[in-house]
């Protein structure tokens, strides 16, 4: 920007976006100051570098606004974790299943872990059955993103939430379009 531009010649773009041609940096800087604007380097890798005559404060503000808008549109996907044991009771299973459903409806992925201790490692098939049963119980709200696999003393499965349209179709209702109520 302004005096920090260290090249001899630059390609100048005017305040309205018109091409002003290639000129010495000092001449471009004096034209920018005459118009009460800044000289901002927009393409330093070009040959010669491209500079634009503009209000730098306004340019910076617009960049910040665009960055903020793009962050709003990004969807943050969080991964929640729910831990089970192979000998879980029916009530505990139902409670944890309810928590997983809530996480999925909030749009989070859920990592379901079954922890094996001691001799339970000889019965990893029980953990596989438990995870497959959980996936079947939650098929209206989720899809299995990572199939159950043994990872050391834990068996892990990842569930991803269904899109809202798919959830509505599975539930038997037609998905609503905008404007319908």
- Percent over 70 (pLDDT), the chain: 90
- At 155 the pLDDT is 92
- At 133 the pLDDT is 92
Angle of helix 90-105 relative to helix 124-137, nearest 10 degrees?
50
Residue 164's pLDDT band (cuts 50, 70, 90): low
Fold adopted by 2-72: Ubiquitin-like (UB roll) (3.10.20)
Distance CA 42, CA 53 (A): 10
Q: Domain-by-domain residue ranges, the chain?
A: 2-72, 79-171
Give tens-digit pLDDT for 63-93: 899 888 888 777 777 889 999 999 899 999 9
Kindly list the distances between the CA atom of residue 94 and the CA atoms of 17, 28, 106, 168, in Å, as whole numbers in the listed order.
64, 72, 19, 23
Query: Class assignment of domain 79-171?
Result: alpha beta
Give tens-digit pLDDT for 103-126: 988 888 999 999 999 888 888 898
- At 169 the pLDDT is 54
The maximal CA–CA distance of the chain, rounded, in angstroms, is 83
Q: What is the mean pLDDT of residues 10-30?
A: 87
- At 73 the pLDDT is 76
- At 181 the pLDDT is 45
């Amino acid at each position: 920007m302004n005096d920090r531009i260290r090249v001899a010649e630059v390609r100048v773009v005017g305040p309205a976006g018109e091409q002003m041609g290639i000129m010495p940096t000092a001449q471009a800087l004096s034209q920018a100051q005459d118009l009460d604007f800044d000289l901002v380097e927009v393409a330093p890798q070009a040959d010669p570098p491209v500079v634009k005559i503009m209000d730098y404060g306004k340019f910076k503000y617009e960049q910040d606004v665009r960055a903020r808008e793009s962050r709003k549109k990004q969807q943050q996907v969080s991964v929640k974790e729910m831990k089970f044991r192979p000998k879980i009771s029916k009530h505990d299973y139902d409670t944890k299943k309810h928590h997983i459903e809530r996480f999925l409806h909030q749009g989070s992925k859920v990592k379901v872990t079954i922890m094996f201790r001691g001799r339970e490692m000889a019965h990893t098939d029980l953990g596989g059955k438990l995870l497959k049963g959980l996936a079947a119980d939650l098929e209206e709200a989720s899809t299995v993103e990572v199939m159950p696999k043994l990872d050391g003393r834990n068996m892990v499965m990842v569930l991803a939430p269904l899109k809202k349209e798919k959830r509505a179709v599975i539930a038997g209702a037609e998905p609503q379009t905008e404007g319908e109520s």
